[in-house]
Structure 1
Amino acid sequence: MVVNEVPHLVLALLAASTAAAIWSGDLRTDVLSGVLLAGAVATAVMLILLTRRAARSRSVAEAALRAAGMDRAPARRSWWRTALTPLPIRPRSVRRLRNLRYGDHRRQRLDVLRRRDRPTGGPVLVYFHGGGYFSGSKNWEARGLLHHLAARGWVCVSATYRLRPGAGFEEHLADAEAAMAWARTHAGEHGADATTVVLAGSSAGAHLTSLYALRAKPEERPAAAVCLYGYYGRYYGRGADEAVTSTPFALPASEAPPFLIAHGSLDNYTSAGTARALAGKLRAESSQPVVHLELPGGQHAFDIVSSWRLTAVLDTLDALLAVIGVAAGGTSTGRSAGAVPSPPEVRRAEAFARPSDRHLEAS
């Protein structure tokens, strides 16, 4: 995946090492040296092809916005800066508050990322990591997304949740509810406008995001949902007779919020076809914008590094947020995600984070 996301840097390393070998005389005129040099050239050609394919992400993003009916080109972030700075290093302007509790379990923890100068009135992002519901951490994927929005005045919340085998689907969903309730209740303490919350996730986190966005009551519905290389089928071992629906395909989408669905065309962990099908369902049932971005040659977990593909996703997200009226620069305008939960709603969400028989029946 890493080579696929930054092939130009691997190409530079290959060129430098080959030049050094030639300069030092390590490559002689024997057959073995010729084979090694031919292998380096063939590898370089393939890396050039990978680079060209990754660089197409910008044009694909523009086409995805047009297909969604948006006559708005994404911002043209510096392609060269992205090429030379692939590590998602947190900007000095952004502070990270680690391991805040939103429940009693050791996995019910979240980080808050916000600008150090604490601007007020910015929207909120709540993000769930991937890992197939049995692994994963809030410290890995989508750091570029979190840093990008936090640097622009958002308050970003990155949450962990309980995992298999100690927890099941109802517990994962309960933790998503509890983390969202925490964000709406406490984001204002960090300067955010807690009435505008965008929900995002990668892989299993995208599955959780899609389910929450379609299940939520109107007053709890996010302003938008961002799903990155998600799995959208049923939870482990479940069938159509499951008591609690675990696939977005089985939920009505007439009241869905705006969606951004981004997936790599060559993802061999989760199907790009399923992402296309979910986008089709949402477009057929929902009146809100649905942007489906299929990144050419993209693999799973492309958001671990700050690559051209992730940059294309961020540009597309900025365009979508502007269209739906969620400002990306420290203030929130237009569409609201609903009022801050009342105390009874907060108590219900806190109870949801501690599963009980009553919770399972309600679900």
Structure 2
Amino acid sequence: MPIGYLVFLASITVFAAAAWTRPSDPAPHARYLLAASVNEIPHLFGAALLLATALAWAQGDLGGPAGLILTGVACATLAALAGLLVRSLSAPVEVRSALAASGIQPALRSRVRALLAPLPLRPLSVRRVRGIAYGPDRRQRLDVYARRGGAYGPVLVYFHGGGYYSGGRHREARALLHHLAAQGWVCISAGYRLRPAVSFSEHLADARTALAWAHRNAGSHGGDTSRLVLAGSSAGAHLGSVLALTQDLRTPHSRVDAVVGLYGYYGGYYGHGPAEAASSSPLLLPPDEAPPFFLAHGDRDSWVPVEQARALRDHLADGAVPVTYVELSGAQHGFDLFSSVRFTSVVDGVESFLDAALRRQNASTARSSE
């Protein structure tokens, strides 16, 4: 019995099975951890399994009834992985449809590179300045991404996920930061203090300070601070949404021109009662002065149900806030960990959305100055 092959096959089979489960199935957090990678790059897992199976057959390890059973399991797993790939290929259509519903002309790239090279490696054209302090705590640090040779483009401030108790500024949404920086944007990935050492008021204070830092200092990195947007994943999307919905338009360093929320949680903060939740949930904050929002969420998210994103979409729409909402078929939590077909489609959608939102802002500013 080929023990190494058996362990490898069992692992990929479990990963694929977790990716096909429903959000309502038991053990949601465990299913996310098992499915996060295979759900975004199933073809690479499939290629590895196919190669391992062929090698096991060539070495005579899969002979006899047990070998035939293992081969059957491998074929079934390969079929499941193929289904995951087909499901992920619906993302370009879903992004294009969401943009069209918002009256935005989509500009999507070829998906071939995402299939062949899905790791979110920083391109040579983008430089990163690491670990800039915006406060005394070691978590109050940020990284700046900008195009080599200079840039003069809009500014994006990004907050990472992690449920407010984990995570860091080097993990999610790398493909988004790298792509926009290569196009001339100045992208800032900001960390913030985590629980249990601090609570929501401190998270929000850190986010406000990082935003103010961007308004004051992004220009020295080539950023145009007259155009500044927020983005975040999971808890970071929650934090950015609250920041945008509570901005003081009389304070220049708190201005936000658009928001991008990726698989965000939008309810109240841990343990907050009704009175406290009113200040920590975007769903309970008035959207009267809110900027345009781009929301993307997976319908298989087992960590934060997709109903959260739908609720924020409806809340913003009720306040006449422009919302571009993308619901991704088969996507789990953390779909921005790779430069996958799914996430590169979202990145292109974000770029088209931001281009339209900032053009509308410029036109509105021009009309008001006449």
Structure-2-length-normalised TM-score: 0.85
| Separation in structure 2 between the aligned mates of residue 306 and residue 127 of structure 1, nearest angstrom | 17
CA contact (8 A) 1:221 1:257 kept: no
Q: CA RMSD in A?
A: 1.6
How big is the shift at 1:326?
A: 4.9
| Separation in structure 2 between the aligned mates of residue 62 and residue 243 of structure 1, nearest angstrom | 35
How big is the shift at 1:20?
A: 1.7
Q: Is 2:34 aligned against 1:2?
A: no
| Gapped regions of structure 1 (runs ≥ 5) | 337-363
List 4+ stretches of structure 1 deviating above 3 A: 332-336
How big is the shift at 1:322?
A: 2.4
1:148/1:237 Cα in 2 relative to 1: closer, same or farther (>3 Å)?
same
Match of 2:232 in 1: 201
CA contact (8 A) 2:133 2:141 kept: yes
Percent identity of paired positions between Structure 1 and Structure 2: 50
The residue matched to 1:303 in structure 2 has which SS? coil
1:83/1:157 Cα in 2 relative to 1: closer, same or farther (>3 Å)?
same
CA contact (8 A) 1:200 1:227 kept: yes
How big is the shift at 1:71?
A: 4.8
CA contact (8 A) 1:324 1:335 kept: no
CA contact (8 A) 1:203 1:230 kept: yes
Match of 1:136 in 2: 167
Deviations 1:104-161 (A, max 9, x none): 11111000111111122x1001000011111110010111111011111111110100
1:23/1:105 Cα in 2 relative to 1: closer, same or farther (>3 Å)?
same
Match of 1:151 in 2: 182
Match of 2:304 in 1: 270
Match of 2:356 in 1: 323
| Separation in structure 2 between the aligned mates of residue 146 and residue 334 of structure 1, nearest angstrom | 26
Match of 1:48 in 2: 82
The equivalent position to 2:49 in structure 1, one of 5, 11, 14, is 14
| Separation in structure 1 between the aligned mates of residue 310 and residue 238 of structure 2, nearest angstrom | 14
| Separation in structure 2 between the aligned mates of residue 335 and residue 204 of structure 1, nearest angstrom | 31
How big is the shift at 1:221?
A: 2.9
Match of 1:109 in 2: 141
CA contact (8 A) 1:114 1:151 kept: yes
The equivalent position to 2:116 in structure 1, one of 67, 84, 89, is 84
Q: Is 2:110 aligned against 1:75?
A: no
Structure-1-length-normalised TM-score: 0.87
1:103/1:116 Cα in 2 relative to 1: closer, same or farther (>3 Å)?
same
CA contact (8 A) 1:325 1:335 kept: no
Match of 1:170 in 2: 201
Q: Is 2:253 aligned against 1:222?
A: no
Deviations 1:180-227 (A, max 9, x none): 000000001111111111100011000001100100022433111000
CA contact (8 A) 1:83 1:308 kept: yes
Deviations 1:44-75 (A, max 9, x none): 1100110000000011111212333x152x22
